[in-house]
Amino acid sequence: MALTVSSSPTSAKGIAPLRAGQGHSFLLRRLHSLTGIIPVGLFLIEHFFSNAFATRGPGAYAKQVEFLSSFPFVVGLELFGIWLPILYHSLYGFYIWYQGESNVAEYPWAGNWMYSSQRWTGAIAFFYMGWHTWHLRFSGTHVLSYPDLAFGKVQHELVVTWAFLFYVVGIVCASWHFAYGLWLFAAKWGITQGPVARRRWGYVCAAIAVLFIATGFVTLYSFRSTPRQPYRPTAGEADSYTMR
């Protein structure tokens, strides 16, 4: 069963291929790679697109949140479509990182700048998502139950300078990690074979990174430049921002 996705075991440009014959770890490794695209990558696309409705004003943003909240089994979709896949991809990502460093021979591209960037952007995105999800999903007013308050809730967060800067960092890291992840995925699964295809796909992925970062920044600008919308922070939320 030759599931190795490139012609040589170490593959061109030193990308560690997905190898057959490593039992469970091979399957877990493939699942990690796949979850980066489905469903986590798809969620990221949807999330950036939905948030970009902020550029059309608080009314349009509320409508989009209302649309998302109209899906049946929302909590089940969140659990199985977002939280658990992100948790798996993240924890196995940290494990791959640890393995790569402890066994550099297995990772011919370890030490490469792009290799490190993929790990560090993943780690930063992990902490950003934990903080961001806690604040916007699990504390304060539940925006899916009160879509009209969603715009004001995000604004309430973004007026705090360090929180705003953390958003900037989170957007850049997630965009970079996903775009370079698309490049890695194509190399590892044999979609791009040979240096020419990989170079061309590299340009497309760079454009995807720029598109995501620009979309995220324009969205942030919309929240910051629109007059403050109604929001009722809970006592806990008011306390959580003492470091302005």
Q: At what angle do helices 23-37 and 84-102 cross, to 10 degrees?
A: 130
Q: Judged by CB, which is closer to ligand HEM: 44, or 62?
A: 44
Whose CA is closest to 147, among 224, 238, 58? Answer: 58
Q: How many residues bind ligand HEM (CB under 6 A)?
A: 48
Interaction between residue 37 and ligand HEM (CB under 6 A): yes
The dihedral region occupied by 110, where left means phi > 0, alpha psi between -120 and 50, and beta the remainder, is beta
Q: Which member of 5, 62, 149, 184 binds ligand HEM (CB under 6 A)?
A: 184
CB of 230 to ligand HEM, least distance (A): 15
CB of 6 to ligand HEM, least distance (A): 12
Which amino acid, 206?
A
Q: Judged by CB, which is closer to ligand HEM: 87, or 238?
A: 87
CB of 124 to ligand HEM, least distance (A): 8
DSSP 8-state class, residue 232: -
**Residues 147, 152, 155, 160, Cα dihedral to 10°:** -120
| Cα 23 from Cα 178, distance rounded (Å) | 27
Interaction between residue 40 and ligand HEM (CB under 6 A): yes
Interaction between residue 150 and ligand HEM (CB under 6 A): yes
CB-CB contact of 31 with 202 (8 Å): no
Q: Which member of 4, 12, 110, 128 binds ligand HEM (CB under 6 A)?
A: 128
Interaction between residue 78 and ligand HEM (CB under 6 A): yes
Whose CA is closest to 119, among 103, 102, 95? Answer: 95
Which amino acid, 141?
T
Interface residues toward ligand HEM, by CB under 6 A: 16, 33, 36-37, 40-41, 44, 47, 51, 78, 82, 86, 89-90, 93-94, 96-97, 118-119, 122-123, 125-126, 128-129, 132-133, 136-137, 143-144, 150, 154, 167, 170-171, 174, 177-178, 181-182, 184-185, 188, 216, 219-220
